[in-house]
């Protein structure tokens, strides 16, 4: 995995830690799949979130969207995401779901790196690679 030069190793370590700490707060009584996500904002701030499930199942919010909503709530509508780290406490390979890819893309750039667990440990893909042909405000 090649980490972009824009992301310092120590920052990546902090992001992984923030994501893992957030995962410990997950509300996942139905799946027991505990996910955490940490966002590096262009201000250097780090914001994290966890998945929050619901008895209706469909209302469940993933860790990535939870973190993104938290970032906007704390820093306002102009937030931009420089990097994303997703972890889970289940030692499972797991990439962001389609809804989260679309949601993150709203506040990220095509080349924003997203780190997530794979079979070998961790991998990285850009937003553009994760969401080819995503819908954007350009179409409106």
Query: Would you please indicate which residues are annotated as catalytic (active-site) residues?
Result: 64
Using the rule CB under 6 A, which residue among 15, 22, 38, 51 binds ligand THU? 51
Stretch that binds ligand THU, among 12-20, 68-76, 95-103, 123-131 (CB under 6 A): 95-103
Under the binding rule (CB under 6 A), the answer on residue 35 touching ligand THU is: yes
The Cα 76–Cα 35 span in angstroms is 24
Region of 4-12, 70-78, 89-97, 107-115 interacting with ligand THU (CB under 6 A): 89-97
User: Considering only CA atoms, which of 8, 37, 34, 11 is closest in space to residue 114?
Assistant: 37
Interface residue with ligand THU among 19, 53, 82, 107 (CB under 6 A) is 53
Q: What residue ranges bind ligand THU (CB under 6 A)?
A: 28, 31, 33, 35, 51, 53, 60, 62-64, 94, 96-97, 100
């Amino acid at each position: 995995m090649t980490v972009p030069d824009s992301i310092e190793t120590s920052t990546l370590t902090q992001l992984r830690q923030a994501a893992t700490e957030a995962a410990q707060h997950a509300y996942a009584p139905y799946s027991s799949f505990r996910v955490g996500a940490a966002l590096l904002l262009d201000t250097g701030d780090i914001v994290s979130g966890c998945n929050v499930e619901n008895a209706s199942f469909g209302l469940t919010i993933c860790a990535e969207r939870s973190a993104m909503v938290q970032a906007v709530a704390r820093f306002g509508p102009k937030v931009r995401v420089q990097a994303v780290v997703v972890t889970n406490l289940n030692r499972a390979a797991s990439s962001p779901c389609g809804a989260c890819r679309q949601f993150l893309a709203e506040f990220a750039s095509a080349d924003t790196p997203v780190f997530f667990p794979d079979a070998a440990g961790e991998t990285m893909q850009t937003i553009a690679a994760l969401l080819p042909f995503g819908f954007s405000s350009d179409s409106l």
